[in-house]
Every structure is written in structure tokens, then in C-alpha cells.
């Protein structure tokens, strides 16, 4: 074990997931407030006032007022060292969002109390589910009329397939929002509205046994409703079981209002107690103890030209074990090379801080001279560690891409290939056509705009994108198969990926089945098997 166990054990690394507008940015902002990172709530982002989130990087983000890329925020609170991985909140997100979840140890799911589970929550939740990481639910905007609390919990259980355990329970909502009842403390936290932008309102904590005080505060009706609900809840909801929470099978649920800063600190405090210390990752079939003396990390994201002032490429790594020291050599496993990581930095939005050390659970960005790929392992020179790769998520949108000026062929190929290497897009070629015809596949359609913008700005190449109707992609698992002989449906397209693996594109799921029926023994999968 390392001499730095305490440093690692105080780390909590998590991602916040939500559907756009549920309040992820506002909640993050309030967390930062408690960490002393900003003085006044509202200074992180205000769409309406054209101020930008600290995580906005690219011009395109500024133009649209959305976050395209994910960033990392680190701060101390109550002895903990918190790493928040920001995932883009826009509807059109990219594989980056998914990959970011690979670097987190738990997730905070923000749900709008009036909207319940929304499409993007569902998608992101699925990825968290794949990893079995703990998920904490914050039901937000209780200062506005919200859906019935039992219905909200029911929806989470049914739609997402996870048991819920309310840690607190709202007393009314909207104009009648009186606060929350803390089930563990058996006390009422009273709500008082605050002006937008101010730190927090007055909250009083009253024991539920102090009937007169509670009655006075919330009135007869709310009081008897609360008592009924508590009774019902104690009989019906899942018991709190930290083991189940850690396996991602039970989500503790909290209610509050990020905007008025109600219930946020209580949530943060409970969350920090319940969330895990940095989780071990699997290398060569074995879990590597995060407290191990040997440093190890994996690359989960690569980004080029993040900042016009620094035309560079940054590889983001999640440290999985030990301590990183900037002056020590490390081994890049896939490149089979011992090196010193160049300009290791912690990146908080566009501010960069050069780091001399970091610990398991932390995220560092290092200058990448073009040697790293997503999923690569970096470790102490003598360690024998190779982390499992990161799955390639199936793109859902496709377009044919052509450069407008044919003289710029070289820059075009370079740009498209580099952006694909970063993993922002996937590129495919028509079978046996070389780079003549390039088909781009993305997880979120916004990536098409990002591609166009970046090719123009970084590579000086204008392109035309022609949308293609495909929605499903399947890799062919059979080895030694003559793909040209496959008989599919008329809408099917045969292509190869960057690594030369054959795959098929389909317009609808029905065609997939038809193709399987027509080609006996054909094996298709949704993920590329590396
Ligand atoms: P996101 O990152 O999940 O997309 O959501 P964000 O925090 O940007 O919040 C979306 C909108 O919802 C914002 O309003 C924000 O002020 C509001 N909001 C967040 N939390 C609460 C809450 O607890 N109660 C209420 N009533 N509103 C909340 P906006 O008008 O779109 O932007 P802004 O001009 O206020 O920044």
C-alpha cells in the first residue's frame, strides 16, 4: 500500500448526468460555491446573459451557449477532494459523453421534478448501468410545481430499472413548497425562497417530534399529508442498503431546488458519505488496487486544438492507482515506450494549472504528441498493467462527406483522420473504395457541425455533408468471411472502419433480421470488438 492512502481515500470522482435544462449546470455551480471556488452563484453560466459555463471551450460552444466538450472540475470540501466530470448537457451529445462516464466512479442524476425521466437521462443512465456504478438522484426544481412524488419514484424504477430509496421527502412543491423531511434524521428542513444569485436562504431544522413547531410551519393539511406519506413510504420503499447503492442497484433520492440553493448542501454531504472512494479498474482480468504503490492511468478522451492560443492536443487520463509524479518516467503500454508525460496539467475549463502530482481518482490532461489513443494505458515503467479498452459506441447518424475544393484533398484526409482518431467522429469507407468516399458516423448530430467547424477553422478545408438514412450499424464478427458475397436488403451498405474491419449499415432494424436470415451463420454485433 502507498504512503498516500489518505489522499486517495478522500477522493470522490463523479459525473453529473441529466437531460438538458434539468439543472445540471446550476447544481454544479452550487457545489463549486460550497467548495469556495466561486463567490456568487450565477457566475458560472447564464445562458440569457450570454455568460458562459466554465466548461465552455470552443468558439462553437460560445456561439450556441452550450457545452460541446466535457471538462473536469476539482475542489476540496469538508476534507474531501472532489472531481466533477462535466458531461455535455445538450441533446446532441457525442461519444465523449459516454467515455467520460467510463472515467467516473459514481453519477449524480439530476431530474426536473415537473418532467421526470427524459430521453437523455435514459441514454446516459444506460451507460452508467453498463458499469454498475452508484447513482444518486437529485430531483430538482421543487420550487416549481412538481409531479406527484410517488409517481416520480415509480417512473425512475420502471423506466430505468433501479430501486429507489428517498433520503428526504418533499413537503409540497411550487408555491406550496415548504421544505423536505429528512427520513434518517426525522426532521423537517424548512424552505425559504431566496433571490436568484444569492447564496442561500434561511433553513431551519425542526424535529418531527416537535409537532407544534412543524404544524405551525407547514399547516394542518401539509402535516397530515406528510404523516400519511411517511407511513406509506416506510412500508413501501426499499430499505436503505449501502451495498446495493454501491452496486448501482439502489439509488438514494434527494429533493431540492438548485436555483434557490435548497437541499444542495445536504445532498452533497450525504452523497460524499455514500459515494465510493476511487474504484479499481480491470487489467488483464485482474482488478488493480487504487491504493497500490504503482502508478497507472488510462486515456479516456483526446482533444486537439482546445485553445487557439495553444495549438495542441491533450490526452485526458484517469489515474487508476498510485500517485502520479510529474518528474518520474512512465510507460505508455500500447506504444511500448518509456517517457515523461509532458506538461501534465489539471484543466479547469480553459484555465490550466501545471501539476506536479496527482492521485488515483484524479483526471489529468497531458500534452499528446500524437502517440496516444483512447483506451491506452500509462503506468509505472516496471508495472505490468494493461487496462481493458473503452467500448466504441455505435453511431446513430451518418453522412457522406466531401471537400468542396478538391485541391485540398491532403488537408481534408488529415483533418478527418485526426478528428476521428480523437474519437469525436467515426469514419467509414465504402468497401474497396479507399478514401474516395468517406462516410462519417456520429452519436449525436451536433458532431457534424463540430466536424465542419473544426475542418474549416483548424485545417482550412470546407466540406459538404450529405445526410444518409442509416440508423443502425453492425460489425461483422465472423472471421474469414467474404463480405462481397453477403446478400442483404437493398437498403444495406457495406463499409469498413478505420481499422479495416467490415461492417454493415442499415436503415431499419427489420433489415438486420432479414440479412441474418439470408446469410446463415452470419454474426453481427453492436460494438466493435477490439
Ligand atoms: P442544464 O445545465 O441541465 O441544462 O440546466 P441549467 O442548470 O442551465 O438550468 C436550466 C434552467 O433551469 C435555467 O434557467 C436555470 O436557472 C433553471 N433552474 C435550475 N435549477 C432550478 C431550480 O431549482 N428551480 C427553478 N425554478 N429553476 C431552476 P434559464 O432561464 O434557462 O437560464 P438562466 O437565464 O436562469 O441561466
Sorted by where each begins, the domain ranges of the chain are 13-70+87-97+104-274, 281-379, 397-525
Can you give the pLDDT at residue 50?
34
- Mean pLDDT computed over 484-502: 89
Distance CA 128, CA 107 (A): 7
Ligand 1: which atom is nearest the Cα of residue 18? 3
Ligand 1: which atom is nearest the Cα of residue 26? 7
Distance CA 2, CA 273 (A): 23
Q: How far is the CA of 465 from the centre of ligand 1 (A)?
A: 34
**Residues 120 and 20 sit within 8 Å (Cβ to Cβ):** yes
Q: Is 238 exposed, middle or buried (0-12, 13-18, 19+ CB in 10 A)?
A: middle
Most confident of the ranges 82-91, 190-199, 477-486: 477-486
Q: Residue 89: is its pLDDT beyond 90?
A: no
Q: Is 203 exposed, middle or buried (0-12, 13-18, 19+ CB in 10 A)?
A: middle
- CATH 3.50.50.60 matches 13-70+87-97+104-274: no
Does the beta carbon of 354 lie inside 6 Å of ligand 1? Answer: no
Count other Cβ atoms within 10 Å, centred on residue 191: 26
Ligand 1: which atom is nearest the Cα of residue 49? 34
Distance CA 7, CA 298 (A): 20
Q: How far is the CA of 178 from the centre of ligand 1 (A)?
A: 20
Distance CA 276, CA 133 (A): 9
Can you give the pLDDT at residue 499?
80
Does the beta carbon of 296 lie inside 6 Å of ligand 1? Answer: no
Can you give the pLDDT at residue 529?
64
Q: How far is the CA of 20 from the centre of ligand 1 (A)?
A: 9
Can you give the pLDDT at residue 228?
93
Pocket test for ligand 1, best of 18, 26, 50 (most atoms within 8 A of CB): 26
Count other Cβ atoms within 10 Å, centred on residue 524: 18
Q: What is the band of 62 on the pLDDT scale with cuts at 50, 70, 90?
A: very low
Q: How far is the CA of 447 from the centre of ligand 1 (A)?
A: 24
Distance CA 345, CA 365 (A): 5
The DSSP symbol for 336 reads T
H helix or E strand, kind and range, residue 412: helix 409-422
Smallest CA separation from ligand 1 atom 19, residue? 23
Q: Which residue has the higher pLDDT, 525 or 332?
A: 332
Ligand 1: which atom is nearest the Cα of residue 20? 4
Smallest CA-to-CA distance from 332 within 286, 293, 370 is with 370
Smallest CA separation from ligand 1 atom 4, residue? 21
Smallest CA-to-CA distance from 312 within 227, 178, 418 is with 418
Ligand 1: which atom is nearest the Cα of residue 260? 23
Does the beta carbon of 143 lie inside 6 Å of ligand 1? Answer: yes
Does the beta carbon of 87 lie inside 6 Å of ligand 1? Answer: no
Q: How far is the CA of 77 from the centre of ligand 1 (A)?
A: 24
Ligand 1: which atom is nearest the Cα of residue 29? 7
Q: What is the pLDDT of residues 289-308, one digit of tens each?
A: 999 999 999 999 887 655 55
At 200 the three-state DSSP class reads coil
Q: What is the pLDDT of residues 213-260, one digit of tens each?
A: 999 888 899 999 999 999 998 887 778 999 999 999 999 999 999 998
Q: Residue 196: is its pLDDT beyond 90?
A: no
Smallest CA separation from ligand 1 atom 34, residue? 48
Smallest CA separation from ligand 1 atom 25, residue? 141
Structural domain 281-379, CATH architecture? Beta Barrel (2.40)
Ligand 1: which atom is nearest the Cα of residue 28? 7
**Helices (H) then strands (E): counts for the chain:** 12, 31
CATH ID of 397-525, from 3.30.70.3280, 3.40.50.1700, 3.40.190.10, 3.30.70.20: 3.30.70.3280
Ligand 1: which atom is nearest the Cα of residue 48? 34
At 482 the three-state DSSP class reads coil
Q: Per the confidence metrics, is the pTM higher than 0.85?
A: no
Does the beta carbon of 50 lie inside 6 Å of ligand 1? Answer: no
Sheet strand arrangement including 168-171: 168-171, 179-182, 187-190, 205-207
Can you give the pLDDT at residue 85?
86
Smallest CA separation from ligand 1 atom 11, residue? 21
At 249 the three-state DSSP class reads coil
Q: What is the pLDDT of residues 8-38, one digit of tens each?
A: 999 999 999 988 899 988 898 888 888 776 5
Burial 318-330 (b: 16+ CB within 10 A, else e): bbbbbbbebeeeb
Pocket test for ligand 1, best of 23, 53, 87 (most atoms within 8 A of CB): 23
Amino acid at each position: 500500500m502507498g504512503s498516500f492512502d489518505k489522499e486517495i481515500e478522500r477522493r470522490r470522482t463523479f459525473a453529473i448526468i441529466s437531460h438538458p435544462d434539468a439543472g445540471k449546470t446550476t447544481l454544479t455551480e452550487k457545489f463549486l460555491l460550497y467548495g469556495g471556488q466561486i463567490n456568487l452563484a450565477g457566475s458560472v453560466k447564464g445562458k440569457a446573459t450570454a455568460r458562459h459555463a466554465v466548461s465552455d471551450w470552443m468558439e462553437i460552444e460560445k456561439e450556441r451557449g452550450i457545452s460541446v466538450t466535457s471538462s473536469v472540475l476539482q475542489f476540496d470540501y469538508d476534507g474531501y477532494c472532489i472531481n466533477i466530470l462535466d458531461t455535455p448537457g445538450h441533446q446532441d451529445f457525442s461519444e465523449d459523453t459516454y467515455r467520460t462516464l467510463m472515467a467516473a466512479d459514481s453519477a449524480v442524476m439530476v431530474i426536473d421534478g415537473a418532467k421526470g425521466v427524459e430521453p437523455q437521462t435514459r441514454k446516459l443512465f444506460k451507460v452508467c448501468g453498463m458499469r454498475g456504478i452508484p447513482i444518486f438522484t437529485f430531483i430538482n426544481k421543487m420550487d416549481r410545481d412538481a409531479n406527484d412524488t410517488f409517481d416520480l419514484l415509480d417512473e425512475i424504477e420502471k423506466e430505468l430499472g433501479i430501486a429507489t430509496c428517498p433520503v428526504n421527502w418533499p413537503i409540497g412543491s411550487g408555491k406550496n413548497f415548504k421544505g423536505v423531511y429528512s427520513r434518517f434524521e426525522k426532521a423537517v428542513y424548512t424552505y425559504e425562497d431566496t433571490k436568484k444569485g444569492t447564496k442561500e436562504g434561511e433553513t431551519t431544522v425542526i424535529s418531527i417530534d416537535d409537532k407544534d413547531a412543524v404544524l405551525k410551519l407547514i399547516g394542518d393539511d401539509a402535516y397530515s399529508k406528510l404523516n400519511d406519506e411517511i407511513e406509506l413510504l416506510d412500508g413501501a420503499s426499499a430499505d436503505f442498503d449501502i451495498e446495493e447503492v454501491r452496486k448501482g442497484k439502489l439509488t438514494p433520492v434527494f429533493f431540492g431546488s438548485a436555483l434557490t440553493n435548497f437541499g444542495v448542501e445536504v445532498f452533497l454531504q450525504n452523497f460524499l458519505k455514500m459515494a465510493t472512494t476511487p474504484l479499481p479498474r480491470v487489467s488483464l482480468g485482474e482488478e488493480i488496487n487504487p491504493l497500490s504503490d504503482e502508478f497507472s492511468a488510462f486515456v479516456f478522451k483526446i482533444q486537439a486544438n482546445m485553445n487557439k492560443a495553444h495549438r495542441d492536443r491533450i490526452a485526458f487520463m484517469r489515474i487508476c492507482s498510485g500517485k502520479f509524479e510529474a518528474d518520474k518516467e512512465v510507460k505508455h503500454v500500447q506504444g511500448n515506450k518509456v517517457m515523461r508525460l509532458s506538461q501534465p496539467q489539471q484543466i479547469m475549463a480553459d484555465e490550466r494549472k501545471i501539476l506536479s502530482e496527482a492521485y488515483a481518482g484524479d483526471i489529468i490532461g497531458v500534452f499528446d504528441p500524437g502517440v496516444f489513443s483512447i483506451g491506452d494505458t500509462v503506468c509505472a515503467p516496471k508495472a505490468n498493467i494493461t487496462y481493458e479498452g473503452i467500448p466504441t459506441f455505435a453511431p446513430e447518424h451518418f453522412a457522406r462527406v466531401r471537400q468542396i475544393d478538391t485541391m485540398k484533398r491532403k488537408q481534408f484526409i488529415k483533418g478527418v483522420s485526426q478528428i476521428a482518431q480523437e474519437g469525436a467522429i467515426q469514419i467509414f469507407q465504402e468497401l474497396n473504395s479507399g478514401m474516395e468516399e468517406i462516410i462519417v458516423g456520429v452519436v449525436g448530430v451536433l458532431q457534424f457541425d463540430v466536424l465542419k467547424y473544426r475542418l474549416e477553422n483548424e485545417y482550412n478545408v470546407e466540406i459538404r455533408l450529405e445526410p444518409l438514412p442509416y440508423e443502425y450499424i453492425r460489425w461483422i464478427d465472423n472471421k474469414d468471411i467474404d463480405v462481397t458475397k453477403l446478400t442483404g436488403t437493398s437498403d444495406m451498405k457495406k463499409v469498413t472502419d478505420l481499422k479495416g474491419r467490415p461492417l454493415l449499415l442499415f436503415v431499419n432494424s427489420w433489415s438486420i433480421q432479414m440479412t441474418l436470415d439470408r446469410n446463415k451463420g452470419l454474426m453481427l454485433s453492436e460494438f466493435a470488438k477490439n
